[in-house]
Amino acid sequence: MTHITALGKTVDEAIANAVNELQTTREKLSYRVIEEPQKGFLGIIGSKPAKIEAHVLPDPVEMAQNFLEETVRLMGQQPEIKKTVSEKRVSFELMGVEDTGRLIGKRGQTLEALEYLANLVCNKHDQSYTRIELDVGDYRERRKKTLEQLAIRVAKKVKDTGRPLPLEAMNALERKIVHETLKSVQGVVTESEGKGANRHIVIMPTK
């Protein structure tokens, strides 16, 4: 990370000079004021310019990727990370993992934790939010199909018995999959109940 010292008649001018020298934008510039400008005798003699120390903020997506690489390495894995970038969303796919179970965890809890931490790292300094999505061994798609099948199966049982049935606790993304799967299914409705880690969906017969 290159730090420079920039001068200007005002702090704003010093910032502009730093932006120009570092060939960046003001949004990506981090700086601290070392000296405020001072007017000298008659506004000229002995005057001092504003002085700042500045550097370019690291790329947030690159920081997130470096964090994942180091964290996964400490977990004993050496995957290749495939990055896919879309508007305000970046997907990282961990490929070539020998022990996918270690990175996925029970019902995806380890994968969720890694994704959460990667998002914290990515958005630590950036003013605009970038969503990081993490996958390994095509787990997300396999989990999605499992939840869809579960939702349909339990919905049928609810219609047959006329009694509501709760599903296991799920995160917000997984609950959304269930809601979307059953929103067009006649005879049942879905509601989320509980708080925090215990929040789950209840599938109920329509009255």
Which of 35, 3, 42, 33 lies closest to 15 in space, CA to CA? 33
**pLDDT over threshold 80, residue 180:** yes
**pLDDT score recorded for residue 41:** 60
Whether residues 101 and 69 share a domain: the answer is yes
Whether residues 89 and 101 share a domain: the answer is yes
Q: How many CA atoms lie within 13 A of 48 on its CB side?
A: 8
Whether residues 67 and 133 share a domain: the answer is yes
Whether residues 86 and 131 share a domain: the answer is yes
**pLDDT over threshold 80, residue 1:** no
Whether residues 96 and 127 share a domain: the answer is yes
Give this prediction's pTM: 0.69
**pLDDT score recorded for residue 42:** 60
**pLDDT score recorded for residue 203:** 96
45 or 141: which leads in pLDDT = 141
Phi, psi of 97 (to 5 degrees): -85, 130
| Element holding 51 (H helix, E strand) | strand 50-56
Whether residues 152 and 102 share a domain: the answer is no
Q: What is the CATH number of the domain that holds 22?
A: 3.30.30
pLDDT, one tens digit per residue, over 48-58 is 889 989 988 88
161 or 58: which leads in pLDDT = 161
Whether residues 167 and 124 share a domain: the answer is no
Q: What is the CATH number of the domain that holds 77?
A: 3.30.300.20
Type of residue found at 82: K
Taking all residues of the chain, what is their mean pLDDT, rounded to a whole number? 88
Q: How many domains does the chain have?
A: 3
**pLDDT score recorded for residue 130:** 86
d(CA 164, CA 152): 14
**pLDDT score recorded for residue 91:** 92
**pLDDT score recorded for residue 47:** 79
**pLDDT score recorded for residue 127:** 64
Question: Pick from 56, 81, 96: which residue ends a domain?
Answer: 56
* Least confident segment among 4-13, 46-55, 132-141, 191-200: 46-55
Question: Pick from 137, 156, 186: which residue ends a domain?
Answer: 137
* Least confident segment among 37-46, 82-91, 115-124, 164-173: 37-46
Whether residues 39 and 68 share a domain: the answer is no
Question: Pick from 137, 164, 183: which residue ends a domain?
Answer: 137
Whole domain around residue 193: which residue ranges?
Answer: 142-205
d(CA 6, CA 44): 20
Whether residues 76 and 47 share a domain: the answer is no
pLDDT, one tens digit per residue, over 13-48 is 989 998 898 888 888 888 899 988 887 666 555 578
**pLDDT score recorded for residue 48:** 87
First to last CA, the chain: 63
d(CA 21, CA 12): 14
**pLDDT score recorded for residue 144:** 94
**pLDDT over threshold 90, residue 89:** no
Whether residues 162 and 199 share a domain: the answer is yes
Whether residues 91 and 40 share a domain: the answer is no
